[in-house]
Structure 1
Amino acid sequence: MHHADSKPLAHDHNFLSASHDAHEQRTRYVVALTAAMMVIEIVAGLWTGSMALLADGIHMATHAGALGVAAFAYWFAKRHANNPRFTFGTGKVGDLVGFASALVLAIFAIGIAVESAQRFVSPLTIAYTEAIWIALLGLVVNLASAWLLGADHHHGHDHDHHHHHDHAHADNNLRSAYFHVLADALTSVLAIVALLAGMYLGWAWMDAAMGLVGAFVIGRWSWSLLRDTAAVLVDAEADSERYTEVSEALEDRDAAIGDLHIWRIGPGKYAVIASLIAGDPLAPDHYASRLSEHAEYVHVTIEVHRCEHPHPELRAA
């Protein structure tokens, strides 16, 4: 029996982004801020008897829950990053949570749209002054949360040397948290506009109109997040630029790619399986080393086949 040590051939399966810990910390801060605001509004609502404050506090609770799940995903992914049960690591945990959050945002958008449509038919009496103060308070909290998450959302991606301008390198867990606070901030801004128009111009219909606008924008964000996270979860093909990049690195005058698979296994991290055909093949490690300058390709498997009937030019070479 062959007893050679196979450890040198093993791959590292920790495919979390370099910004993982920073993203987790920022998300925890936002959870704490949102939860504190939730408690203040619920207590104030019970103390003053204000249903508006109480309702907004309960609404904050749903966002605190969603953000809490995002924070948990960071913890879980790091804790189990080297667990062999996860074949390609836990880099997709954030995408799974991002997909679930996108569904919640979609439900949120549908609920706003339905409620807004009903208010066109059956307008409600609005306590403008109280509602404006609540909206302003919520806006301040959500802007602070967006600022906490926004720095990493815009700059914390793992860009490769070509700086692909797509969401393939994004941390979708962070995106989902960011979209949640943006959605809440947007509804606060639209509510303030509608309330001021209703208070000073008598345009009560603006409340419902702004609700529909908010539902549309949040729906667009939800669809974007659903599309991107679903693509990662079902191992959709990477963008064509990556295929071109890998092909140009692996192919030469003698070797040609017969089969190539590239898919995302973590934020900014990709697996590559390539089958090469060559007239005078070299060792697989030689071809794999050609991708070593591309840090995003973290799990590369190369198989090489000898071409029995190479092109005459290749034989001459």
Structure 2
Amino acid sequence: MGAGHDHGGQVLRAAERHRGRLWAAFALLTVFMIVEAVAALATGSLALLSDAGHMFTDVLGIGMALAAITAARRASRNPQRTFGHYRLEVLAALANAVLLFGVAIYVLIEAVRRFGEPPHVLTGPMLAVAVLGLLANIAAFALLRSGAKESINMRGAYLEVLGDLLGSVGVIIAAVVIALTGWWWVDPLVAVGIGLFILPRTWRLGRAAVRILVQAAPEHLQVPQVQARLSAVPGVTDVHDLHVWTLTSGMEVASAHLTIEPGTEPAKVLAAARVALHDDFHIEHATLQVEPAAETGACGPTEW
């Protein structure tokens, strides 16, 4: 199989490296989610409630990330699951995006309603809880930052915590402004700001997850360039039935049929093609079929 065919194991090891950090962030945010939710109900602050709701999606998202890592590790030992359960982290990321959309839309609707019904907000407890929430989010942000570069699921949790961190800053500002000026409308205004901040980032996360699930080519790869590079491999006369997709975070895979010149050694073509895919496009898992020129057209239709 050649170099790079332990890529599934590499993905699992990358996830395992961050498992302890995920558990720490999960425990920390769960405690402060409960604190914020109770405080939001006690103080009447929509901004604090929106921050607690966002923190709930943080906790749920990290929980799903941990579940996906555990399931993928167990599935890697099942011979019937040839690619394991790597797609579970993508499904978890998509579920995160849906939840975040729901929270953001709820907050926006509730904020509009509150502009017509001025609430009474207890700014002292609101400020104290917001500061504690900010500290918790800073700690969780630091725990998840490194893993966000290696996993779409970790990136989802990271983005949620980043949004929540900024949300906590907004709640602090709202509490200070209300306490000093009595401008009650700052509370729903900050809630709207949190919701609008969440939506575009959630859209990007959901879009990335859907692209993987529909097996679209990775955005950073141009399929015509991959085809041209394989065509330039010595001995290759034609490249067809080329597919490039993402299995899970950091795991791009490809398959292609290579037509070779008469007298060309297939093993050399395969080796050169795999090196080209690895070096030029960082594709480490490729399934390549070598065909003599006389067999072209015998591999069936590719329109599926």
Normalized against structure 1, the TM-score is what? Answer: 0.77
Aligned to 2:300: none
* Residue of 170, 189, 192 corresponding to 2:169: 189
Aligned to 1:172: 152
Aligned to 1:25: 20
Kept in 2: contact 1:16–1:90 (CA 8 A) = no
- After superposition, the Cα gap between the structure-2 partners of 1:243 and 1:61, relative to the gap in structure 1 and judged at 3 Å, is closer
Q: Which amino acid aligns with 1:215?
A: G
Q: Which amino acid aligns with 1:130?
A: P
Offset at residue 226 of structure 1 (A): 0.4
* Residue of 261, 268, 275 corresponding to 2:250: 268
Q: Which amino acid aligns with 1:14?
A: G
- Give the aligned length: 283
Kept in 2: contact 1:271–1:297 (CA 8 A) = yes
Q: Point out the more displaced range, 220-229 or 209-218.
A: 209-218
- 3-state secondary structure, aligned to 1:126: coil
Distance 2:140 2:271 in 1: 43
- After superposition, the Cα gap between the structure-2 partners of 1:223 and 1:86, relative to the gap in structure 1 and judged at 3 Å, is same
Structure 1: gaps spanning 5 or more residues? 1-6, 158-170, 311-317
Distance 1:240 1:35 in 2: 36
Kept in 2: contact 1:250–1:287 (CA 8 A) = no
Aligned to 2:299: none
Aligned to 2:283: 297
Distance 2:23 2:226 in 1: 37
Q: Point out the more displaced range, 287-296 or 131-140.
A: 287-296
Counterparts of 1:6-25 in structure 2, within 5 Å, are 14=8, 16-17=10-11, 18-25=13-20
Q: Which amino acid aligns with 1:195?
A: A
Structure 2: gaps spanning 5 or more residues? 297-304
Asked whether 1:277 is paired with 2:259, we answer yes
Distance 1:57 1:305 in 2: 59
* Structure number having the greater helix percentage: 2
The percentage of counterpart residues that share the same residue type is: 27
Kept in 2: contact 1:73–1:97 (CA 8 A) = yes
Aligned to 1:119: 114
- C-alpha offsets along residues 6-62 of structure 1, whole Å, 9 cap, x if unaligned? x99xx65735524211222211110121233346668x86xxx94669979975555
Offset at residue 200 of structure 1 (A): 1.4
Kept in 2: contact 1:20–1:74 (CA 8 A) = yes
Asked whether 1:210 is paired with 2:190, we answer yes
Offset at residue 285 of structure 1 (A): 3.8
- After superposition, the Cα gap between the structure-2 partners of 1:198 and 1:129, relative to the gap in structure 1 and judged at 3 Å, is same
Aligned alpha-carbon RMSD (Å): 3.2
Asked whether 1:85 is paired with 2:68, we answer no
Counterparts of 1:135-154 in structure 2, within 5 Å, are 135-153=130-148
- After superposition, the Cα gap between the structure-2 partners of 1:225 and 1:58, relative to the gap in structure 1 and judged at 3 Å, is closer
Distance 2:7 2:21 in 1: 25
Distance 2:91 2:9 in 1: 15
- C-alpha offsets along residues 205-233 of structure 1, whole Å, 9 cap, x if unaligned? 22222211211110111111100011111
Distance 2:215 2:44 in 1: 44
* Residue of 49, 64, 73 corresponding to 2:68: 73
